[in-house]
Structure 1
Amino acid sequence: MNIPFPPFEPDKSPFDIASSDNVVNALPVADGWGPMPGLTEITQALSDECRGAVYVRTAAGNYIIIAGTETGLYQLDTTDFSWTDISGPSAPYAVPLQDSWTFTRFGDKLVAHNLTDAIQVFDIEAGGTFADLAGSPPRAKYSWVSGDFLVLGYLEGAAGEKTIRWSGINDIEHWVIGKKGSDVQELPEGDEIMGGFGEQGGFTVIQRNAMQFFPFAPSSGFTFTRQVLNPKQGTLAPRSIVSMGPGLFFYLSEDGFFGGVDRKPIGAERVDRWFLDQIDQTYLADVQGVADPFEKIVWWKYRVANGDYYRLGYDWQLDRWCTTDLQVGEMVALATPAITWDGLDAFYANIDAAIEPFDSRLFSGGRPTFATFTSDNKLAYFTGPNLEATIDTAVVEIDGMARAFVNGARVITDATGFTLADGAYGYHGDSVTWSTANAANRAGLVPFRSDGRLHKFRLVISDGTTWSIASAVNANAQPSGEQ
């Protein structure tokens, strides 16, 4: 019998052959599962925990990576991979505990800010250090670009949490309301602002309990007008919002994961209940989402009861979920910084010690990729050796009329060095009895002597193994009785 390695959907019945409640460290592929890369640390340690990071590309094609801590802003030196302090005159900063740095590019300027400190600006072409943004803009938690305007959301002061404000047209140093198109808008409903992003012809604002669109409408006598898109629902976790393009964004709400203003459920009856059971409910609002632009997966980082941080991923092209037991810190979508052959000296004692394949994205500057900061504050890319993968089938009744004796199985995979275990059940609801985890023999057959009415197979592929696909288990079974 051919038993597939199905999608990870732990909310479904364990007896549904089309779903699995246990897949760890594997990425969805069209007809099964593929490997998940581990981490490669590439930098020296930041002075403190990362509270936000970004990359920008100069006109000459060079990539600059900037990271912020509670008190400073730093640029990655790609010669020795240390961090250079480029904080402005307002440093040391004081990023609040429940806040982080927001980075927004406007032309050749990079704006960095949080709710406590004066808005900072960095000249991408000239380099140097950050400076206070001129024009007396208000402090704000969030920002985004809409056409020729820089928009700020969740401002300091009374009623600021429900207020947006935008700059003068094509001038981020102009904040005089009523001049050059600059204006302010307090939102009367929907509670506090959780974030926003530019869209074609305007921008979208996500609140705790609403979503609104601000179309560019100069003919109306106002720079932007307002349209309520969803009057009742928004997000409780501001950093969970991940925008992928016009009209396409994902986020966490009180009752699970959704996409778009119409709240298309992407986790309902698949992972929502599992996730809400896993997460420390105290930290629901701190869930952070980031898109891996290479794998086309949105990852959400969340905290569990013991204080560890894990990731849950959603492949928006395949409409599939995945998870990992690799602990992570601040997550960032970055470009690779173009490590040269000479630069390998910063990582490896000699060429034989290199663990990265030489066609890795790590050695190609400007390739989109996904990164995190480790527990010791080093930047690490997800380009390392493959993690140990565990993939379970569903609990399957091989013979609907009788118990089944399994004497062997073949795994449809190009991996080698794996093991396979057979979990047998006497009846629906029985506890599982696992066989020894066996390797395949020279003919590719994994031997078993397992008897039960139901069976569940568990594939474990060792870390560092090179492989690309695991699709199914082909079990050799015969009836062994009707009890």
Structure 2
Amino acid sequence: MMIPFPNFEPDKSPFEGSSSANVVNAQPVANGWGPMAGLTIVSSALPGECRGGVYVRTAAGNYVVIAGTATRLYKLNTTDYTWTDISGPSAPYNVPLQDAWTFTRFGDKLVAHNISDAIQVYDIEAAGNFSDLGGSPPKAKYSWVAGDFLVLGYLEGTNGQKTVRWCGVNDITFWTIKERGADFQELPEGDEVMGGFAEQGGFTVVQRAAMQFFPFAPASGFTFTRTVLNPKQGTLAPRSIVSIGPGRFFYLSEDGFFGGVDRQPIGAERVDRWFLEQIDQTYLGDVQGSADPFEKIVWWKYRALNGNFYRIGYDWQLDRWCTTDIAVGEMMALATPGITWDGLDLLYPDIASVSEAFDSRVFSGGRPTFATFTTDNKLAYFSGPDLEATIDTAEIEISQDTRTFVSSARVITDAPISGFTLADGVMAYHGDSVTWSTANSANRAGLVPFRSDGRLHRFRLVIAEGTVWSIASAVNAHGVGSGEQ
């Protein structure tokens, strides 16, 4: 009987065959599961926990990686992969515990800010250090660019948390209200601003309990007007909002994961209940989302009950979920710095110790690659050797009338037979606890031997770390009826 490795959807029944409650360190592919890359560390440690990061490209085509801690801003030195302090005169900064740096590019300037400190600006072409942004802009949690305007959301001061404000046309140092297009809007409904992003013809604001669109409308006498898109629902986790293109964004609400202004459920009866059981509810509002530009997966980092930070991912092209057990820190999409042959000496003691493939994206500067900071504050890209993958089937009745004795099984995968094991978990009835066989390797013919008997069978494939493979799609189980029960 051919038993597929199904989607990771732990909220569904384990008996209906099309879902698995246990897939770890594997990514969705069209007809099954593929490998998930591990980490490649590419820097020395930041002096503190990363609280936000970004990359920018100069006119000359060079890529600059910048990261912030609670007190300083740093640039990655791609000569020796250390961090150079480029903080402005306002440093040391004081990023609040529940806040992070927001980075927004406007032309050849990079704006960096949080709710506690003066807005910082960095000249991408001239380099140097950050400085305080001129024009006396308000402190703010969030920012984005809408056409020729820098928009700030969740401002300091009375009712600032419900306010958006934008600069003068094409001038981020001009903030005089009612002049040159600069203005503000206090939102009377929807509670505090949780974030925003540019859309064609304006920008969208996501609040705790509403979503609104601000179209560019100078003919009206105002720079932007306002339209309520969703009057009742928003997000409780501001950093969970991830925009992937016009009209397409995803976010976490109190009852699960959704997409768009109409709250299309992407996690309902699939992963929502599982996720809410895994996360420490105290930190539900701190969930951070980021899109992997190479794999087309939105990842959300969350704090589990054991205190570690893990990820759950949504593949927006395949409409499928995945998860991993690797602990991570701050996540972001970064261009790779480009590691030279001389630079290898700084990261690896010798050539034999280089675990990264030499055609890896991490060695070719400028490739968009998903990144994180490790628990010891080092920058790492998800481009290393593939992680150990665990993939379970559903709990299957091979025969509808009898128990089944399974003598062997063949895994439909391109992983080498020396690179994986397969175990058979059996149950005497629906709801019975699982009794696992020994995890066996395949013989020279590709068959994994078993002597397992039960009414239901659940197969567990484990592919070793570093194994080269691209797909695992099914288990072909060989069994015979062993008596009615």
TM-score (norm 2): 0.99
Deviations 1:351-385 (A, max 9, x none): 22211111100011111110100111100001111
Superposition map of 1:85-164 within 5 A: 85-164=85-164
Letter of the 2:429 counterpart = Y
Which residue number corresponds to residue 483 of structure 2?
481
| Distance (whole Å) between structure 1 residues aligned to residue 423 and residue 104 of structure 2 | 50
Superposition map of 1:203-214 within 5 A: 203-214=203-214
| Distance (whole Å) between structure 2 residues aligned to residue 368 and residue 244 of structure 1 | 14
Which residue number corresponds to residue 223 of structure 1?
223
| Distance (whole Å) between structure 1 residues aligned to residue 123 and residue 363 of structure 2 | 27
Superposition map of 1:165-314 within 5 A: 165-314=165-314
Q: What is the total number of aligned residue pairs between the two structures?
A: 483
The correspondence for 1:428, drawn from 426, 430, 436, is 430
Residue 429 of structure 1 deviates from its aligned partner by 1.1
The correspondence for 1:472, drawn from 471, 474, 477, is 474
Letter of the 2:481 counterpart = P
Which residue number corresponds to residue 403 of structure 1?
403
Residue 350 of structure 1 deviates from its aligned partner by 2.0
| Distance (whole Å) between structure 2 residues aligned to residue 430 and residue 376 of structure 1 | 42
| Distance (whole Å) between structure 1 residues aligned to residue 452 and residue 173 of structure 2 | 73
Letter of the 2:214 counterpart = F
| Distance (whole Å) between structure 2 residues aligned to residue 432 and residue 165 of structure 1 | 58
Deviations 1:17-58 (A, max 9, x none): 110000000000000000001111100000100000000000
Letter of the 2:37 counterpart = P
- The answer as to 2:441 corresponding to 1:439 is yes
Letter of the 2:484 counterpart = E
Letter of the 1:399 counterpart = S
| Distance (whole Å) between structure 2 residues aligned to residue 34 and residue 16 of structure 1 | 23
| Distance (whole Å) between structure 2 residues aligned to residue 352 and residue 155 of structure 1 | 52
Deviations 1:265-319 (A, max 9, x none): 0000000000001100000000000000000000000001121111000000000
Deviations 1:82-106 (A, max 9, x none): 0000000000000001100000000
| Distance (whole Å) between structure 1 residues aligned to residue 353 and residue 92 of structure 2 | 40
- The answer as to 2:49 corresponding to 1:49 is yes
| Distance (whole Å) between structure 2 residues aligned to residue 189 and residue 311 of structure 1 | 33
Which residue number corresponds to residue 365 of structure 1?
365
Where 2:75 maps in the other structure, the secondary structure is strand
Deviations 1:249-276 (A, max 9, x none): 0000010000000000000000000000
| Distance (whole Å) between structure 2 residues aligned to residue 476 and residue 307 of structure 1 | 43
Letter of the 2:426 counterpart = A
Where 1:405 maps in the other structure, the secondary structure is strand
Deviations 1:135-167 (A, max 9, x none): 000000000000000000000000000000000
Letter of the 2:202 counterpart = G
Which range moves more in the overlay, 171-180 or 351-360? 351-360
Where 2:7 maps in the other structure, the secondary structure is coil
- The 4+ residue runs of structure 1 with deviation greater than 3 A are none
| Distance (whole Å) between structure 2 residues aligned to residue 169 and residue 339 of structure 1 | 40
| Distance (whole Å) between structure 1 residues aligned to residue 20 and residue 49 of structure 2 | 36
Deviations 1:52-85 (A, max 9, x none): 0000000000000000000000000000000000
| Distance (whole Å) between structure 1 residues aligned to residue 435 and residue 46 of structure 2 | 47
Unaligned runs of 5+ in 2: none
RMSD: 0.5
Where 1:317 maps in the other structure, the secondary structure is coil
Residue 348 of structure 1 deviates from its aligned partner by 1.4
- The answer as to 2:73 corresponding to 1:73 is yes
| Distance (whole Å) between structure 2 residues aligned to residue 451 and residue 36 of structure 1 | 33
Q: Percent identity?
A: 78
Where 1:438 maps in the other structure, the secondary structure is coil
Where 1:371 maps in the other structure, the secondary structure is strand
Where 2:219 maps in the other structure, the secondary structure is helix
Which residue number corresponds to residue 32 of structure 2?
32
| Distance (whole Å) between structure 2 residues aligned to residue 453 and residue 374 of structure 1 | 44
Residue 432 of structure 1 deviates from its aligned partner by 1.0
| Distance (whole Å) between structure 2 residues aligned to residue 267 and residue 82 of structure 1 | 40
| Distance (whole Å) between structure 1 residues aligned to residue 432 and residue 176 of structure 2 | 70
Where 2:71 maps in the other structure, the secondary structure is coil
Letter of the 2:333 counterpart = A
| Distance (whole Å) between structure 1 residues aligned to residue 351 and residue 293 of structure 2 | 29
| Distance (whole Å) between structure 2 residues aligned to residue 425 and residue 349 of structure 1 | 50
| Distance (whole Å) between structure 2 residues aligned to residue 437 and residue 306 of structure 1 | 28
Deviations 1:217-276 (A, max 9, x none): 000000000000000000000000000010000000010000000000000000000000
Residue 338 of structure 1 deviates from its aligned partner by 1.0
- The answer as to 2:2 corresponding to 1:2 is yes
| Distance (whole Å) between structure 2 residues aligned to residue 81 and residue 410 of structure 1 | 46
Deviations 1:415-459 (A, max 9, x none): 122000000111111111111100000000000001011100000
Where 1:439 maps in the other structure, the secondary structure is coil
| Distance (whole Å) between structure 2 residues aligned to residue 83 and residue 431 of structure 1 | 52
Which residue number corresponds to residue 346 of structure 2?
346
Which residue number corresponds to residue 382 of structure 1?
382
Letter of the 1:426 counterpart = A
